[in-house]
């Protein structure tokens, strides 16, 4: 009897749970699509889709206000939306420009706020100029190749959701004309009223609350996908503009640090900026540990070339190539070993442009720092601002018999990394260490004369106060 009672209790609890779930109101999921469209946003939209599936939501709504961004990221969002089985909406709060307009095509219904716009979805070829705020149209020989795949994705989305493909084609290509809508030679951008008149938008609502009421979701529970602090930071640091700035400061700081002994302010800034760069792209599900490993290998090879191996050869060049490859790979979505997913030339263009601009900016930063920072109170130790000449009591005499200095002692006048200058028998001479790092002021001894090279080593570990 007790067993039967237990079974009845279990059945009652299970039945109550089912009845409660059946009467529970299915929510609508609202996903913010604000700011630049980049790979960090892809993860947020995918999280919203997962939440909609988990809660058996009534609808998925994209709350949009964007000037666009990376077409590759927009395509990934569109592909994710193509697998959603519940009704999908886009509410354009202010702007759905460029990639934002294409994402809107991937939803079934488009609503707009007054004074909002949608359109101008021409694909821009990334270059250092476009990163600085300019725009470079796709070259004619590449235009058809680049547009072909994107057009197919957008056309498929329009067919699936009942949108007029011609309107979106006119947003992407100025060669397309539509009678009484847009003439050839101009890109289509529609106001909210024009979007309704052309049938692109279903209606106009003052804000998202009024929009929800207009589609009879006013009293339905709402679940807003709120980006976490980490996701916000990831989106910020993985954007193209911020990535370029981080690389510029990171590379510039490390290059300046290589000119100075120890770890100082430039090196600390460089390490922090590069750490934020790699963390941002790693958190955006773009890169794994491979780019960071490549960067570490490249940096080690470069340090070996600078401090151990005289001159500049294969080791240094390999190090630079590894560093460049790591920075580019960090901005790409690619799984090592899966060559089928390796980015094509069009997808490589933007990261290459960012890295090229950052390297150029870092070199310019070094030039400016070398010229103006030596006189500054807090940076005077970073750069050699004084020129040593005969007036200071030292001179370099090319007619000297270098063999006479073998076994002599002296003082490192500059930091030897491994090359530098030392004072030996009142002569200022070019010397090179045996590969170790010798700080300025360290007492040294000439251990060998090799052709025209004076090779020195440390005599003592203490540093002379001069």
Note every long-range contact of 137-142, with CB atoms under 8 Å and residues 24 or more positions apart, other chains counting.
142/346
Number of residues assigned to the chain = 466
What digits encode the pLDDT tens for the residues 219-274?
999 999 988 777 778 778 777 778 888 888 888 887 777 665 555 777 788 888 88
- Looking at the fold, whether 328 and 299 belong to one and the same domain comes out as yes
Query: What share of the chain has pLDDT > 90, as a percent?
Result: 31
The pLDDT confidence band at residue 197, using thresholds 50, 70 and 90, is very high
Mean pLDDT of the chain: 79
- Looking at the fold, whether 13 and 154 belong to one and the same domain comes out as yes
> What is the separation, in whole angstroms, between the first and last Cα of the chain?
99
Contact criterion met (CB below 8 Å) for 65 and 90: no
In a domain, 193, yes or no: yes
> Can you give the pLDDT at residue 459?
78
Is the pLDDT confidence value at 298 over 60? yes
Other CB atoms within 10 Å distance of the CB of residue 361 = 18
Buried b (16+ CB within 10 A) or exposed e, 76-101: bbbebbeebebbbbbbbbebbbbbbb
Query: Cα–Cα distance between 385 and 373 in angstroms, integer?
Result: 9
- Looking at the fold, whether 170 and 34 belong to one and the same domain comes out as yes
- Looking at the fold, whether 214 and 135 belong to one and the same domain comes out as yes
Contact criterion met (CB below 8 Å) for 278 and 291: yes
The pLDDT confidence band at residue 80, using thresholds 50, 70 and 90, is very high
- Looking at the fold, whether 22 and 168 belong to one and the same domain comes out as yes
- Looking at the fold, whether 242 and 112 belong to one and the same domain comes out as no
Number of domains in the chain: 3
- Whether the bond between 418 and the residue before it is cis, its omega within 30 degrees of 0, is yes
Tell me the sheet residues that pair with 223: 29
- Looking at the fold, whether 281 and 429 belong to one and the same domain comes out as no
Of the two residues 237 and 54, the one the predictor is more confident about is 54
What digits encode the pLDDT tens for the residues 367-411?
776 666 554 444 444 454 454 454 544 444 555 677 778 888 889
- Looking at the fold, whether 77 and 44 belong to one and the same domain comes out as yes
Out of 372, 398, 429, a domain closes at: 372
- Looking at the fold, whether 170 and 313 belong to one and the same domain comes out as no
In a domain, 381, yes or no: no
In a domain, 15, yes or no: yes
* 416: containing domain: 390-463
Query: Cα–Cα distance between 428 and 394 in angstroms, integer?
Result: 6
Is the pLDDT confidence value at 286 over 60? no
Look up the CATH number of the domain holding residue 14: 3.90.226.10
In a domain, 300, yes or no: yes
In a domain, 62, yes or no: yes
Based on the number of CB atoms within 10 Å of its own CB, is 307 exposed (0-12), middle (13-18) or buried (19 or more)?
Answer: middle
Out of 342, 372, 402, a domain closes at: 372
Among 5-19, 309-323, 413-427, the range with the most confident prediction by mean pLDDT is 413-427
> Can you give the pLDDT at residue 2?
52
Query: Cα–Cα distance between 214 and 375 in angstroms, integer?
Result: 66
> Can you give the pLDDT at residue 300?
86
Query: Cα–Cα distance between 422 and 416 in angstroms, integer?
Result: 9
Which has the closest alpha carbon to 417: 388, 440, 445, 438? 438
Which has the closest alpha carbon to 172: 156, 150, 192, 157? 150
- Looking at the fold, whether 84 and 158 belong to one and the same domain comes out as yes
Buried b (16+ CB within 10 A) or exposed e, 250-277: bbbbbbbbbebeeeeebbebbeebbebb
In a domain, 384, yes or no: no
Q: Any idea what DSSP says for residue 400? A: S
In a domain, 186, yes or no: yes
- Looking at the fold, whether 216 and 246 belong to one and the same domain comes out as no
What digits encode the pLDDT tens for the residues 326-356?
888 887 766 666 655 566 666 677 788 888 8
> Can you give the pLDDT at residue 433?
84
> Can you give the pLDDT at residue 60?
97
> Can you give the pLDDT at residue 16?
47
Query: Cα–Cα distance between 132 and 244 in angstroms, integer?
Result: 10
> Can you give the pLDDT at residue 51?
94
CA dihedral angle for residue 454, residue 459, residue 460, residue 463, rounded to 10 degrees: -30
Is the pLDDT confidence value at 103 over 80? yes
Beta pairing class for 409-412 and 419-424: antiparallel
Tell me the sheet residues that pair with 432: 419, 455
How many Cα atoms are found within 13 Å in the side-chain-facing hemisphere of 352? 11
- Looking at the fold, whether 310 and 365 belong to one and the same domain comes out as yes
In a domain, 18, yes or no: yes
Other CB atoms within 10 Å distance of the CB of residue 313 = 10
Out of 197, 227, 257, a domain closes at: 227
Of the two residues 283 and 80, the one the predictor is more confident about is 80
């Amino acid at each position: 009897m007790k067993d039967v009672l237990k079974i009845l209790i279990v059945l009652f609890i299970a039945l109550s749970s089912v009845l409660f779930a059946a009467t529970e109101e299915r929510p609508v999921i609202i996903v913010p699509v604000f700011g630049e469209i980049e790979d960090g946003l892809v993860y947020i939209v995918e999280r919203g889709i997962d939440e909609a599936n988990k809660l058996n939501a009534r609808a998925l709504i994209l709350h949009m206000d964007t000037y666009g961004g990376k077409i590759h990221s927009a395509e990934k969002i569109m592909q994710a939306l193509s697998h959603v089985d519940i009704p999908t909406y886009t509410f354009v709060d202010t702007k759905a420009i460029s990639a934002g307009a294409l994402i809107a095509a991937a939803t079934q219904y488009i609503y707009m706020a007054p004074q909002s716009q949608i359109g101008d979805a021409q694909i821009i070829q990334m270059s250092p100029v476009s990163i600085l705020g300019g725009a470079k149209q796709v070259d004619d020989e590449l235009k058809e190749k680049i547009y072909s795949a994107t057009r197919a994705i957008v056309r498929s989305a329009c067919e699936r959701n009942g949108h007029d493909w011609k309107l979106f084609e006119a947003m992407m290509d100025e060669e397309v004309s539509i009678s009484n809508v847009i003439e050839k030679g101009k890109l289509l951008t529609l106001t909210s009223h024009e979007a309704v008149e052309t049938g692109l938008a279903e209606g106009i609502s003052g804000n998202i609350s009024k929009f929800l009421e207009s589609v009879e979701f006013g009293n339905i529970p709402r679940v807003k996908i709120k980006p976490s602090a980490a996701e916000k930071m990831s989106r910020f640091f993985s954007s193209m503009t911020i990535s370029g700035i981080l690389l510029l400061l990171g590379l510039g700081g490390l290059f300046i640090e290589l000119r100075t002994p120890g770890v100082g302010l430039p090196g600390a800034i460089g390490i922090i900026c590069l750490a934020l760069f790699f963390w941002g792209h790693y958190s955006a599900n773009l890169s794994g540990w491979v780019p960071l490993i490549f960067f570490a290998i490249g940096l080690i090879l470069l340090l070996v070339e600078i401090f151990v191996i005289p001159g500049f050869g294969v080791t240094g060049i390999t190090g630079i190539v590894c560093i460049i490859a790591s920075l580019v790979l960090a901005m790409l979505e690619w799984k090592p070993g899966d060559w089928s997913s390796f980015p094509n030339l069009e997808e490589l263009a933007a990261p290459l442009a960012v890295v090229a601009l950052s390297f150029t900016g870092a070199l310019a930063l070094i030039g400016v720092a070398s010229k103006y920072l030596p006189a500054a109170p807090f940076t005077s130790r970073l750069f050699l601002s004084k020129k040593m000449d005969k007036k200071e009591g030292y001179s370099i005499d090319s007619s000297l018999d270098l063999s006479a200095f073998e076994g002599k002692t002296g003082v490192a006048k500059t930091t030897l990394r491994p090359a530098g200058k030392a004072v030996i028998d009142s002569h200022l001479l070019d010397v090179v260490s045996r590969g170790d790092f010798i700080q300025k002021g360290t007492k040294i001894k000439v251990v060998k004369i090799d052709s025209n090279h004076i090779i020195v080593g440390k005599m003592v570990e203490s540093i002379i106060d001069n």
